[in-house]
Structure formats: C-alpha cells, structure tokens
Structure 1
Amino acid sequence: MSRGRAWHLGVAVLATAAVVFQLVLVWQGGTVLDETDPPDLGERVIRFFGYFTVLSNILVAWVAWTIALDRDTDTAGWRTLRLTSLVAITVTGVVHWFLLRPLLDLSGADYLADKLLHLAVPLVAVIGWAVFGPRGRVQGRDVVASLAFPVVWLSYTLLRGAITGFYPYPFLDVDAEGYAAVSVVSLGIAVLFVGVAAVAWKGDERVAKRQ
C-alpha cells in the first residue's frame, strides 16, 4: 500500500471511530454541544445525525475508505463527494474553533469525542488532501455541485427547528437570535464554504500541473 493510501486509511479509521464513539455516548445519554437535559433516545439519535459535524465526518470517512481501498473513481459523483467532504470538514473545524469552542464546557469522554470530530479529523483530512491527493480531479462544476449539501442541510435544519424548536447550533437558533442574525451568520458561512471550495479547486489544479 502506498503512503497516500495508508494515510487515507488512517483518516477513514479515525473518522469512523470518532462518529461511532460519539454515537455510543449519545446512545448512553451523553452531551452533544453541552446539552444539560438530553431528550429521549429516539430524538437523541435523530438530532445526532442532524449535526453538520457528524455528517461531515461521515462524508470524510466514506471518501477516505474509497481511496484507501482503491475504489476512488474519476466520476462526477465521486469528485463532488470528495470536494464536499473536504470543504465541509474544513468549515466544521473553522466554525467550531471560532464560534462553538468558547461555548463548550465538556469533560471526559464527551470532551474527547468533541475534539476528535471537530479538530483531529479535520486536521488529518486536510493534510491528506494537501500532501497525498489524489490530484487533478476537481473541476469547476464540482464546486457548484458541492454546494448542494450545505444548502439541503441548512434548509432541513431550519425547517425542523421551526417545527420542533430544536436547533443544533446556537448561531442558527431563530427563536433566540432572530431570522436577521441567523441569515447573516448563514451567509458568512456560505461565503466561507464557497471560498474553501474555490481554493481547493484552484489549489488542486495548480499542484496537478506541477506533477
């Protein structure tokens, strides 16, 4: 196995383990985003899979497994999935560091799971992309296609929040912050998402030409 595939195998194992570890904690009633009064099991699981962080880690694991097992194919679907996972996990790390980390007061296993999902996986995933590739597989239309994931996720989150009153992140809580504030934050994150996707596209293009 090449060093690149070995690295991606490590990313796949780490991301998978992080998601499973957090799911076990949620199943046992552990805190997510420092909840003080966790709901019943069914609602906890639904909320778990509604977190952008969790979905981003699942996407990273999926893509990393395909690369590690030599199942990565240069198709529009795979390219979009890979770019989406890279941008989503990068945004996850940035948003966590600047917006969520100051709000959290976790300890023990909950603290470890939080750091794995928000810091460790984003770091190794970005390093894997930057150092090992594979290269030359990002196209301009993939950048546009990659925006479908955050748009669908945000639409679902706001719609479910309006129905249930639960929002996975404080800065999206319309009841507490109002639509104007949430719109500003969402726009800022959208700009970040597009910016990271564009950098990944052009960066991949430039490195591919040098190889």
Structure 2
Amino acid sequence: MRAETIVALLAWSAVIANTALRISRGEGPGEAIWTQARYFTFLTNTTVALIFTHAALTGRGPGASLAGAATVWISVVGLVYHALLNQGFVPSQPDFWTDHMLHTVVPLTVFGYWALRAEKAGLGLRDAVIWAGFPMAYLVYALGRGLIDGRFPYYFIDPSDIGWAGVAIWVTGLTTLFVGLGWALTLAGRTRVLSRT
C-alpha cells in the first residue's frame, strides 16, 4: 500500500469517526458537519484527506510546496491541541480516540510522510509565508462566523472572552508559529536536498 494511501485513510477515518460520534449523540449529518466546519482541526484534517486521496489516486505524491503546507497546518493542529486544548479525555471514552486521531495520529503520520517521503526540492522561505495564507483565511472565516452567531471555536479568538486586544496578541503569536514552523521546514528540506547533491 502506498504511503499516500495510508495517510488518506487515516485522515478520512479520523474525520468520519468524529462525525459519526456527533451523529450518535443526536446531531443530524448536516448539522454535525456544519458544527465541525467551525474548527481548524476539522477543516485541516479534511484538507489533508483530500490532498492525499488525490495523490493516492493519481499515483503521484503531492508537490514539495503542497506537502510542506499540509505538514505545517496539521502540525500546528497537534501542537496547539496538546499545548492548549487537550480535553483530558480518558481511554474509556470514545472522545479520547477520535480526539487523538485528529490531533495526534494524523499530525504525526503526515510529519513522518514529509520527513521520509515528500518531495522537498525547490522549497524557499517564501513558501512558508504563502502557507500562512490558509490559517489566516480561516481566522477571517471563524471570526466572521462567530460574530454572526456568537460562537467562537477557540477561546484565543473569542473577543467576548479575552477582548480584541487579546485576540490580536494570540493571532500574532499563532501567525509567528505558522511562519516560523514553515521556515524551519523549508530550511530542513533544503538542507536534506543539498546533502544528497
């Protein structure tokens, strides 16, 4: 089985399992998806699933920039969850397994794919800035949706909880995290490519 297929299956399994868990608790399928679409975690895992499904079906791995982007996005999902959002679920709870599929297993698998298999030639520091476009677009979407319905997905972008100044500080920090991790990834990739020449 191709590595891209494994990543795609894991990502789809995580997304579907979490959706099924919500449906089992009384949400309709559309409601479950719409609720989850509020979260960067769900959107990023779904994006990873789509990227790697396409790669599996075409028999070609994602290009260097796309693979790097997916790795940065899903790595931040894992880092932020474990540093700030871990719900403390215990292994006897279904939430424990779905949460760790979304926030631990998929991020580690994608990072492992990038380290061992992904194309890295041609990556530059500009790529890291471009990769930050997706999380910034998400931020605009999440804030806009929250201002409309009064529900914000994360406390660190909830102006009713921490104020707009607090949101600005968190956004600056998270943007720095995305770009900084992207730069580290591009430099590591370039170093690995150069070591082979």
If the TM-score is normalised by the length of the shorter chain, which range does it land in? Answer: 0.7 to 0.9
**1:73/1:117 CA distance change after superposition, 3 Å:** closer
Match of 1:91 among 76, 79, 90: 76
Deviations 1:57-87 (A, max 9, x none): 122222333444423464xxxx543222111
Alignment check: 8 A CA contact 2:15 2:46 kept:
yes
**1:73/1:95 CA distance change after superposition, 3 Å:** closer
Question: Identity over the aligned pairs, expressed in percent?
Answer: 32
Counterpart position of 1:59:
47
Instruction: Please give the alpha-carbon distance, in whole angstroms, between the structure 2 residues aligned to 1:42 and 1:54.
Output: 14
Alignment check: 8 A CA contact 1:15 1:117 kept:
yes
Structure 2 length normalisation: TM-score? 0.87
Match of 1:26 among 9, 22, 25: 22
**1:137/1:68 CA distance change after superposition, 3 Å:** farther
Alignment check: 8 A CA contact 2:4 2:53 kept:
yes
Counterpart position of 1:71:
60
- Aligned structure 1 segments of 4 or more residues deviating by more than 6 angstroms: none
- Pair 1:170 & 2:155 matched: yes
Counterpart position of 1:33:
none
Equivalences, count: 194
Q: Alpha carbon RMSD of aligned pairs, Å?
A: 2.2
- Pair 1:45 & 2:42 matched: no
Q: Which amino acid aligns with 2:42?
A: V
Instruction: Please give the alpha-carbon distance, in whole angstroms, between the structure 2 residues aligned to 1:73 and 1:117.
Output: 21
3-state SS of 1:178 partner: helix
**1:44/1:17 CA distance change after superposition, 3 Å:** closer
3-state SS of 2:152 partner: coil
Instruction: Please give the alpha-carbon distance, in whole angstroms, between the structure 2 residues aligned to 1:72 and 1:104.
Output: 35
Instruction: Please give the alpha-carbon distance, in whole angstroms, between the structure 2 residues aligned to 1:89 and 1:140.
Output: 19
Q: Which amino acid aligns with 2:50?
A: W
Structure 1 length normalisation: TM-score? 0.82
Q: How does 1:1-211 map to 2 (within 5 A)?
A: 6-29=2-25, 42-69=30-57, 70-72=59-61, 74=63, 79-101=64-86, 103-105=87-89, 108-211=93-196
Alignment check: 8 A CA contact 2:67 2:119 kept:
no
